Amino acid sequence: MFIKNQYGAHLLDQYIDTIIKYICQEKQASPAHILVTLLKNLIPHHTTCLFNQAPITPTFDLVTIHGLLGVLERKKNPVDSVIVDRVDSVIWGLNQVADKIDNKSKLFYPLSAFFSVFQQYRTKLSPELADKLEFKDCWNACLDLAINKILADLRSDKRAIKLAACNALGQLSEWIPSGSRADIIKELQICLDCGDNDIANEASQVIIRLVHWIPTTVRSGIFDLLLANIANESRSIIACKSLAQLYTWAWETERFKALMQESGQTLQSGDPEIDLYILETAKLKLLMKNVRLMIQSKDSHTICRGSQIVLHLHPIISSDAFFTEREEVVGALLTKLDDSSEKVISAAITVFNQMKYNIKEEDFVSVRNKMALLKDHNSVYVRSAVYEAATDDMLADVQSKLIKKEENVAVRIAAIRAMGRLFRTISDEKSRAISINTLIDIVVNKKLDLKERIAAIEALCQPLKQVSSALYPAISNIIHTVLGGQQDELMNVKIQLCQALRHLKYFMYPNACALIVDDLFLLMHERQIELRASACKALIDIAKVFHTEAVSTKIREKINGLMKDMELADFAAASKAWVLLGQLKELVLPRERKEVVKTLLQKLADLSVDENIFKQDEKKESGETILQRLYQALKLYADEVSHQDKVLVLCRMRFLAAQEKNCHHHAKILMNYYYNAYRQELAKLLLMHVPSENNGFLPRDVAHTMTRFAF
């Protein structure tokens, strides 16, 4: 029911604010506690005295309040009581006396506020009571304030604040209300056209996430700004990626056009979206003309830039609408394979490798012939590019390059990758055997570079069944050596290896797996975020395959250790455990998950009571603060948090999101995330109350509420 008068609206707001403040101030704040507090505040003070001088008039409100308190409070002794979670029983009682509750009752606004905050209980109200009470969607107003604050930060003159606001908008993209979108797009256009390259690039990345709801009227302006940013070398790559995303919406129109032509009809211009598609296509064709001119220039740097633009605009130019422009670019690039600059040749080969399925057969043959001549080029760049793009007819050359021990590591790694990629095209058993034996020789040769040996292991993932199990211990030892190595130069190799473990896990020797589990847990405590995340994913993959006692015991030991670390007084160490337990949630037992959620909610409650609880937060590790880790862990465990606890999180996050410190942008993001998770659960709850005789059709009131909450 909507709010009929200004006084009533003000009173309802007061009660809602009282509930939220109480939740933030109290560490134990269940819905039952909130309801008891609201009801006790309604009892006149003189009725609670032991010696009353005036007779008490037993009004309906007073009798009902005492009756409801009797349901919620259980007496332990004459002066002490405990609150029990019996809100459902309270609602049942209220439904029985719904005809006596109106806006003149003392219960009216407190109950309206309670069901406005704890929306999940509304489905249990009788239709009569639900129609009488006045509800307010208190969270939407909070989220609008959060969005408006980010918008204000986007207009700030301070670079760091502007960048943080752009990043926050990107993460909130799916949940930005329609009323705020026009202002956000306007500010992002200003950012795209600003003089700061980092801010322009951040805005371009946000545009990619907002692409599905950018209105047709402003899409053309953004399109032009991105086209202009392509000319700036520092913005070119991200602008190309954004442009590709922004243009692909029109592909549906292109398909529709083809269908219309097949049916003998024509698609006339006049539709704004069709006209915009035609205009954008024309602009892109002009861009491709300029890119072709860049490729035809004599300056090697300009040619490489033009090649890079083609590479990142490939999703667009692979369309039939750009057939002519694509062929012109291919013709220009073909001439560059005879260039004297090694960087120009390698850039051209890289583009051809990307476009090989979208060029004419004769052009493909020409490229293949040119590559055959370049395979022994004196430049490392050129040879590496040739082998990265090797086609099936070059398999013998690839094998020869590895067997004869090519002197350059980069070229050898390119050849190894080519061999792994070409396995599926080899039909000759003898040739397959040569390839496998060549890779095995590289794997077991301890004198070779570790990167090369890892590349060989990855390549062996293709002919997996043909690799002898006798080699598994050697492969496991290499993995253990790399993951356990202390050299700084191994950092990127470790990340690549962790990411490759999804396939390499089948090569691991079970007895060596326990050692690799140890290595991965050590990597989870490294400073580099990407390495930690890769190690967590690798560990989950291993746990799914190896169910041996040694591996299972080791993983349980590590999880138990993290569960203990979670309670440490040192918040820096404890916060690492929170995040790791979130990333390893698949390996955490259900009862342990409940403990993790309990701890995280407790830390959040402590924080809302004492803002200075995380004093160590001033020291940052790997760009993350302790608060950011708490928010990240709460996000990872959101589906384990109950209905009522989600509301408590929302109340506390509203308090934290309103501040100008303590990672308030991250607080806004988490608040939005929880609100949408809460709305999805409300939608499911509503569906559970739909009678089965509706035969698949939702009642009008449920459909209306579903639309508001879920969509």
Q: How many helices (H) and strands (E) does the chain have?
A: 35, 2
| Paired tokens of 365 | 């043959």
* 27-52 per-position pLDDT tens digit: 667 888 888 888 888 887 555 444 44
pLDDT of residue 248: 64
Q: Which of 72-81, 97-106, 412-421, 678-687 has the lowest mean pLDDT?
A: 72-81
The answer for residues whose C-beta is within 8 angstroms of residue 613's C-beta and 6 or more apart is: 571, 603, 606, 607
pTM, two decimal places? 0.73
Question: pLDDT higher for 463 or 582?
Answer: 582
Separation between Cα atoms, residue 555 and residue 549, nearest integer Å: 10
How much is the average pLDDT of 51-68? 68
Question: pLDDT higher for 264 or 650?
Answer: 650
Q: Which domain, by its residues, includes 672?
A: 566-711
pLDDT of residue 399: 76
601 domain-assigned: yes
pLDDT of residue 660: 66
How much is the average pLDDT of 150-158? 86
171 domain-assigned: no
Residue 527 pLDDT greater than 60, yes or no: yes
| Paired tokens of 105 | 């009752």
Ramachandran angles phi, psi of 696, nearest 5°: 90, -10
SS3 298: coil
420 domain-assigned: no
Residue 710 pLDDT greater than 50, yes or no: no
Residue 398 pLDDT greater than 60, yes or no: yes
| Paired tokens of 462 | 């293709």
Type of residue at 540? I
Question: pLDDT higher for 215 or 243?
Answer: 243
CB atoms within 10 A of CB 404: 8
pLDDT of residue 700: 59
- Confidence band (pLDDT; 50, 70, 90) for 691? low
Query: CB–CB of 542/508 below 8 Å?
Result: yes
- Confidence band (pLDDT; 50, 70, 90) for 333? confident
pLDDT of residue 697: 55
Question: pLDDT higher for 189 or 450?
Answer: 189
Question: pLDDT higher for 259 or 67?
Answer: 67
Separation between Cα atoms, residue 308 and residue 296, nearest integer Å: 14
Among 112, 38, 142, smallest CA distance to 678 is for 142
* 652-669 per-position pLDDT tens digit: 888 777 776 667 788 888
What proportion of the chain, given as a percentage, has pLDDT over 90? 1
Quick one: which H or E segment has residue 598? helix 590-609
pLDDT of residue 495: 79
- Confidence band (pLDDT; 50, 70, 90) for 260? low
pLDDT of residue 711: 44
Among 341, 361, 346, 249, smallest CA distance to 299 is for 341
SS3 492: helix
Among 153, 146, 222, 142, smallest CA distance to 182 is for 222
What proportion of the chain, given as a percentage, has pLDDT over 70? 82
- Final residue before a domain boundary, out of 97, 117, 136: 136
Averaged pLDDT score across all residues of the chain? 78
590 domain-assigned: yes
Among 138, 183, 140, smallest CA distance to 165 is for 183
Query: CB–CB of 311/274 below 8 Å?
Result: no
Residue 232 pLDDT greater than 50, yes or no: yes
Residue 254 pLDDT greater than 60, yes or no: no
The 3-state DSSP composition of the chain as helix, strand, coil percent (nearest 5) reads 75, 0, 25
- Confidence band (pLDDT; 50, 70, 90) for 219? confident
pLDDT of residue 545: 75
Terminal CA-to-CA distance of the chain, rounded, Å? 20
Q: Which of 63-77, 238-252, 262-276, 505-519 has the lowest mean pLDDT?
A: 262-276
- Confidence band (pLDDT; 50, 70, 90) for 514? confident
284 domain-assigned: no
468 domain-assigned: no
- Final residue before a domain boundary, out of 136, 159, 190: 136
- Final residue before a domain boundary, out of 136, 166, 182: 136
Tokens 């928010």 locate to 631
pLDDT of residue 690: 60
How much is the average pLDDT of 477-483? 77
* 181-190 per-position pLDDT tens digit: 888 888 888 9
Q: Structural domain tally of the chain?
A: 2
97 domain-assigned: yes
Type of residue at 537? K
pLDDT of residue 619: 47
Q: Which of 74-83, 246-255, 410-419 has the lowest mean pLDDT?
A: 246-255
pLDDT of residue 2: 46
- Got the DSSP string for 158-199? -HHHHHHHHHHHHHTGGG--HHHHHHHHHHHHHHHTSS-HHH
* 341-360 per-position pLDDT tens digit: 888 888 888 888 888 777 88
Question: pLDDT higher for 641 or 421?
Answer: 641
How much is the average pLDDT of 483-500? 72
* 594-613 per-position pLDDT tens digit: 999 998 888 888 777 766 66
pLDDT of residue 173: 75
Q: Which of 367-376, 509-518, 594-603, 685-694 has the lowest mean pLDDT?
A: 685-694
How much is the average pLDDT of 164-168? 85
311 domain-assigned: no
* 114-125 per-position pLDDT tens digit: 888 888 888 788
- Confidence band (pLDDT; 50, 70, 90) for 157? confident
Question: Where in 30-141 does DSSP place strands (E)?
Answer: 73-77, 80-83
